[in-house]
Amino acid sequence: MSSNAGQMKEPFIRMAKRDALSQQKAWGIRGVAFLLSLVTGGLLILALGHNPFSVYASMIKGAWGSRTVIHETIKIAVPLLITAIGISFAFKMKFWNIGGEGQILVGAVAAGAFGLFTAHIFPKLPLVILMMLAGIAAGGIYGLLPAVCKAKWGTNETLFTLMLNYIALAFVKYLMNGPWKAEGSSYPKIGMLVPGARLTKVFGVHWGWILALVLVVAAYIYFNKTKQGYEIAVVGESNNTARYAGINVSKVFIRTMFLSGALCGLVGMLQFAGADYTITEGTAGGVGFTAITVAWLAKMNPFGMLVVSVFIAMLERGANTIQTNFKIPASASDLLIGIILFFMLGCEFFISYRLIRRGKEETHA
């Protein structure tokens, strides 16, 4: 009787943790997921009355078809990549920094305080250095707030960092309507950075792309070859284990979150001085949230983040192109991107877990 009751309680499908899957099989699953995403997206395109092959070809051409659009694709990828590296510092120690948006905004504001009001005082090179240091410091300090509260009082960092996004956004709105409002403007608007203070372009894109590549290598070395990177990994595995090993967990939280916020603040400076030349509510542009997807898809590997950020930038740039060429609504093109990313993220579940039907015994531990 008890065995029958136990059998009835067994779910029809249950999950089991996989043993380590070979790289060949893992990439095979990812490949299948990508093909399925294209098929599902193709059904959406067909429902809109267009040829999926033509639309996908237009997306690729819209991202890589000319030198101009390549520059635009890279400009999208740069903030995604640096922000993803920044939040991966926190994510590796299981500190969920959802505040990338706010840290980008405060970095832009700090850089703007120098760029907008002291451009007539400092030559270009010292001014750019000041803007960069200000953006890094502001983003880092903004990242410190939840880290200090987590270390001292055990606050929930997810909610804390998320709420800080709205505070930063409200502050930008205040500046747009108040002390930084452009003279003579009839609507809320912050003035433009003078041309002489803008970041120099290298091969058609501001030099932030070079800095991003340097940060990929630096982050990889930091995570894998330094004592601080080892401490982050241990804290991420278990706070108690880290304490038993003599690691000051609170210190690691604070140090690492400063670095995480500082990189996001750097993105704010690059967006202000190299791309937008002003500060608006859309300066962060959702980068802080999209970068979370980049970091997870790349499994916190900086070189993987480089590939994923370029891939997502291609999708975003391509989506803009098909809106123009095929008159596809922005909501539909965003849905198409969402479908592709959903399949790519979802396949990671099947790499880590497998589904077992009722009555089928598990063959591996």
User: Residues 16-35: what's their mean pLDDT?
Assistant: 84
* 222 within domain boundaries: yes
Distances (CA, A) of 284 to 169, 290, 351: 9, 10, 32
Distances (CA, A) of 313 to 14, 74, 270, 305, 343: 37, 7, 17, 12, 17
Distances (CA, A) of 273 to 77, 179, 192, 267, 306: 16, 20, 10, 10, 22
Q: How many Cβ atoms are within 10 Å of 300's Cβ, its own excluded?
A: 19
* 283 within domain boundaries: yes
Phi, psi of 357 (to 5 degrees): -75, 155
CATH number at residue 278: 1.10.3470
Q: What is the predicted pLDDT for the residue at 348?
A: 83
Task: Identify the CA nearest to 292 among candidates 56, 52, 111, 86.
Answer: 86
- Dump pLDDT digits (tens) for 189-205: 999 999 999 999 999 99
Is the pLDDT higher at 347 or at 92?
Answer: 92
CB within 8 A of 188, min separation 6: which ones?
173, 176, 177, 181
Domain count, the chain: 1
Q: How many Cβ atoms are within 10 Å of 46's Cβ, its own excluded?
A: 12
Task: Identify the CA nearest to 211 among candidates 199, 228, 198, 194.
Answer: 199
Q: What is the predicted pLDDT for the residue at 4?
A: 54
* 91 within domain boundaries: yes
* 70 within domain boundaries: yes
* 333 within domain boundaries: no
* 354 within domain boundaries: no
- Neighbouring C-alpha atoms within 13 Å toward the C-beta of 40: 16
- Dump pLDDT digits (tens) for 30-71: 899 999 999 999 999 999 999 999 999 999 999 999 999 999
* 336 within domain boundaries: no
Q: Chain centroid to CA 246: how far?
A: 32
Predicted model pTM: 0.91
The whole domain housing 302 covers 51-327
* 360 within domain boundaries: no
User: Residues 262-273: what's their mean pLDDT?
Assistant: 97
Confidence of residue 363 (pLDDT cuts 50, 70, 90): very low
Q: Chain centroid to CA 324: how far?
A: 26
